[in-house]
Structure 1
């Protein structure tokens, strides 16, 4: 089972993108990706919303997320969110262990 968390960061004057850029350039993203249990940590930019950045954050389990939240890393992230005046909307998903149904595979080109 994997836990996938979508975090939509929104701000003003391009601050969400500046936040994501600083997360990468400061090495915080690399450090998070190296944490035990992290499966993926990737930023995306919605085409129709210049003031929002989507983070897709994936973890092996809740224990890994709890360890991440208890780490000194969270203070760095919080400080950057405050620096850029960001707001967040969060979605949480648990992976489907059965995988993609055969009926849906007909629409996927690999």
Structure 2
């Protein structure tokens, strides 16, 4: 059962975007993507809220997420959150490993 976290970083004067750009530029995001059990680590910006950045962060299971939380990368993330004075909110989702039901697949276009 995979775990997906939607993390919303909000700041002022473009701070959330600068945070995400620094995570990418320093290689911190790539290092997290390379961790065992990471399934997704991508930043997005809502069209209706330029002061917020959404991170979609998915892990194979709770053990992989716990290892990430115990890693030295969390200190770097916390340091950058403080640097850019960001506030956060989180949503947590669990997948059921069944995939997209057939009745929903008709709405998808690949």
Give the TM-score, by structure 2 length. Answer: 0.98
In 1, Cα distance between equivalents of 2:109 and 2:99: 16
Uncovered stretches (5+) of structure 1, i.e. residues with no partner? none
**Residue aligning to 1:15:** 15
**Residue aligning to 1:39:** 39
In 2, Cα distance between equivalents of 1:85 and 1:103: 44
**Residue aligning to 1:103:** 103
* 1:96 to partner: Cα distance: 2.4
The number of aligned residues is 110
* 1:79 to partner: Cα distance: 0.2
Give the TM-score, by structure 1 length. Answer: 0.98
Please give the per-residue CA displacement for 1:55-102, whole angstroms capped at 9, x wherever unaligned: 000000000111111111100000000000000010000112221111
Uncovered stretches (5+) of structure 2, i.e. residues with no partner? none
In 1, Cα distance between equivalents of 2:98 and 2:31: 31
Q: Which runs of 4+ in 1 moved over 6 A?
A: none
In 1, Cα distance between equivalents of 2:90 and 2:45: 16
The within-5 A match list for 1:78-93 is: 78-93=78-93
RMSD: 0.6
Classify the secondary structure of the residue corresponding to 2:108: coil
